[in-house]
Amino acid sequence: MFDAVTKVTMEKIVSLCKRRGFIFPSSEIYGGLESCWDYGPLGVELKRNVKDAWWRAVVQQREDVVGIDASIMMHPQAWVASGHVEGFSDPMVDCKSCRMRWRATDLSGDKCPSCGGELTEPRMFNLMFKTFMGPLEDAASVVYLRPETAQGIFVNFDNIISTTRKKLPLGIAQMGKSFRNEITTGNFIFRTREFEQMEVEFFVKPGTDEEHFDYWVNERFNWFVNLGIKQSNLRRRQHRKNELAHYAKSCTDIEYLFPMGWSEIEGVANRADFDLTQHAKHSGKNLTYFDEESGERYIPYVIEPSSGVDRTVLSVIIDAYEEETVRGETRTVLHIKPELAPIKVAVLPLSRNEKLVPLARQMYGEVRRHFMTQYDDAQSIGRRYRRQDEIGTPYCVTIDFQSLEDEQVTIRERDSMTQVRVPIKELIITLQTKLPR
Ligand code: GAP
């Protein structure tokens, strides 16, 4: 019935996101703020659904992971211990002609990619955002906005072990905002200075770390497949020794095939005992773990699956986006997995005819109690179906004049565009079967 047509580009995704209220440039009425984005009514639903899917999979459905929500600002010594004050830097170069600024590691030659001008020598630039706590702006009141959520987990390791009385292997999960003063940003929400991460620090007995590492790489890869992302657009990429972060023994990225090429959406790292050793040294606290089974005391090793919420949202939208030709017309559709769709059901009266409206409003009230629902009565029914297709709504419920007589409504399915009539009495149960939680 239909063929997929045009290739997806980032411009099309940015345009759809803006047009339909997924994502807007931040402070747009002031001309925007570089690399900052605001999630609109549909974007915020999609993002919540992604985060809920992650939380369910890594915390609620497992007995060996617990969650926390630590503060964004932490004791400044934590960032000295973690190595971020000393080493969380990128080499930056400037073009002497056009003044463009680049991350040296992104360049292949020694001339400016923009104008061919001469570049300065690289200077190291620390990526942490600094601010001051309290009224005095002096060195003693400097605090950082966290550049990763991970450290909030490490500094709570002892609290979690002593309050949950769980045994290793044990994971601690956290999601939340992180901040990096990136030298270069871009590709929409792919690289920004304020973003959200979803991280697990999985503490294991030294010597068992490699098997846990392999397990988490596969587990996380499959999670993206379960989100509905095509497996052919996902791959694993092992880091070379010279790319490894200062704390990592090994690292494998999960990459997605974005319009700009294969790029990281998640990194799974073996952080060995780096972080707990450092925090023990700098805080003076004993962060060893007593293993009752073996009678040994040791500093656990850590496997860290760390992904970006925004990059996951972006890959979900890109992967679901399709322009199809249907009976000579183009329809844009997001084939997004129903679990992630911002709107699950749209209730559409055939027209604004006063005879139809009471039943349609009644249906809307009922369906809304169970699912995220939208009511739309503007323009022709065909246009309204297209609008819902474009935002990924899996089901539309249409109320027509026949409904007033036979007490049935039509359910129209997004992907196949098939329509079935169901008795109003059975509408909720039918939708519940189609939209499992
Ligand atoms: N705790 C380890 C860590 O933070 P990372 O590879 O630097 O590792 C993990 O970041 C994930 O966070 C990345 O895979 C990416 O999805 C996301 N992320 C990192 N920097 C980002 C940025 N500037 N903008 C958007 N997402 C970012």
* pLDDT tens digits for range 155-185: 999 999 999 989 999 999 999 999 999 998 9
In short, whether 194's Cβ falls inside 6 Å of ligand 1 is no
Q: How many CB atoms lie within 10 A of CB 424?
A: 17
Report which protein residue has its CA nearest ligand 1's atom 24.
Answer: 191
Rounded distance between C-alpha atoms, residue 193 and residue 191, angstroms: 7
Residue whose CA is at the smallest distance from ligand 1 atom 4: 148
Quote the ligand 1 centre to 294 CA distance (angstroms).
36
Specify the pLDDT at position 368.
98
Q: What angle do CA 283, 154, 217 make, to 5 degrees?
A: 150
- DSSP β-bridge partners for residue 221: none
Q: Which of 216, 385, 314 is nearest to 8 (CA)?
A: 314
Q: To test ligand 1's pocket by mutation, which of 149, 265, 311, 314 has the most ligand atoms within 8 angstroms of CB?
A: 311
pLDDT(3) > 60: no
Tokens linked to 343: 């709107």
Q: Whose CA is closest to atom 2 on ligand 1?
A: 306
Quote the CA–CA distance of 152 and 146 in Å, as a whole number. 9
Answer for the pair 254, 222: CB distance below 8 angstroms, yes or no: no
Share of residues in the chain with pLDDT > 70 (%): 98
From the CA of 307, how far away is ligand 1's center (Å)? 6
Q: For residue 1, what pLDDT is reported?
A: 45
Q: Residue 206 has which token pair? A: 């030294």
**Burial of 162 per CB tally in 10 Å (0-12, 13-18, 19+):** exposed
191 lines ligand 1 (CB under 6 A): yes
Q: Is-contact 390 342, C-beta < 8 A?
A: no
Average pLDDT score over residue span 126-144 = 94
Closest approach atom of ligand 1 to CA 308 = 16
Query: What is the reported pLDDT for 365?
Result: 98
Question: For residue 1, what is the enclosing H or E element?
Answer: none
Q: What separation in Å is there between the alpha carbon of 396 and the centre of ligand 1?
A: 37
For the Cβ of 315 lying below 6 angstroms from any atom of ligand 1, the answer is no
Ligand 1: does its nearest atom lie under 6 Å from the Cβ of 192?
Answer: yes
Distances (CA, A) of 172 to 36, 49, 161, 211, 287: 29, 21, 10, 18, 15
Q: Which pTM does this prediction carry? A: 0.95
Q: Which is the closest atom of ligand 1 to the Cα of 180?
A: 23
| DSSP-assigned states of every residue in 152-169 | HHHTTHHHHHHHH---SS
Q: Quick check: 141 pLDDT over 70?
A: yes
**Can you give the length of the chain in residues?**
437
Do 375 and 357 contact (CB within 8 A), yes or no? no
- Concatenating the DSSP letter of every residue in 357-399 gives HHHHHHHHHHHHTTS-EEE--SS-HHHHHHHHHHTT--EEEEE
How far does the centroid of ligand 1 lie from the alpha carbon of residue 13, in Å? 21
DSSP string, 316-334: HHHHHEEEEEETTEEEEEE
- What's the rounded Cα separation, in Å, for the pair 390 and 320? 10
Q: Which tens digit of pLDDT belongs to each residue from 342-362?
A: 999 999 999 999 999 999 999
φ and ψ at 393, to 5 degrees? -70, 120
Residue 311 near ligand 1, beta carbon < 6 Å? yes
Among the atoms of ligand 1, which is closest to the Cα of residue 190? 25
- Which amino acid residue places its CA nearest to atom 20 of ligand 1? 191
Max intra-chain CA distance, the chain: 79
Please name the helix (run of DSSP H) or strand (run of DSSP E) that holds residue 84, with its range, or none: helix 84-87
Query: What tens digit of pLDDT does each residue of 396-431 get?
Result: 999 999 999 999 999 999 999 999 999 999 999 999
Residue 5 has pLDDT above 80, yes or no: no
The pLDDT of residue 7 is: 83
CA proximity to 316, closest of 414, 415, 417, 223: 223
User: Does 307 sit in the ligand 1 pocket, CB within 6 Å?
Assistant: yes
State whether residue 198 is helix, strand or coil. Answer: strand
Q: What is the pLDDT of residues 215-262, one digit of tens each?
A: 999 999 999 999 999 999 999 999 999 989 888 999 999 999 999 999
Residue where the block lists tokens 């830097």: 89
Lowest mean pLDDT among 4-8, 222-226, 381-385: 4-8
Q: How many CB atoms lie within 10 A of CB 5?
A: 11
| Those residues with Cβ within 8 angstroms of residue 80's Cβ, 6 or more apart along the chain or in another chain | 86, 282
275 lines ligand 1 (CB under 6 A): no
Residue 305 CB–ligand 1 contact under 6 Å: no
- Ligand 1 closest atom vs CA 147: 4
Identify whether the C-beta of residue 410 lies closer than 8 Å to the C-beta of residue 419. Answer: yes
**Closest C-alpha to ligand 1, atom 12:** 308
User: pLDDT tens-digit profile of 16-73?
Assistant: 999 999 999 999 999 999 999 999 999 999 999 999 999 999 999 999 999 999 999 9
Question: What mean pLDDT value characterizes the chain?
Answer: 95
Mean pLDDT of 296-300: 97
- Report helix angle 427-434 to 357-368, nearest 10: 50
Cβ 270 under 6 angstroms from ligand 1: no
> Is residue 155 a contact partner of residue 78, using CB atoms and an 8 Å limit?
yes
Say if residue 78's pLDDT is above 80.
yes
Confidence of residue 2 (pLDDT cuts 50, 70, 90): low
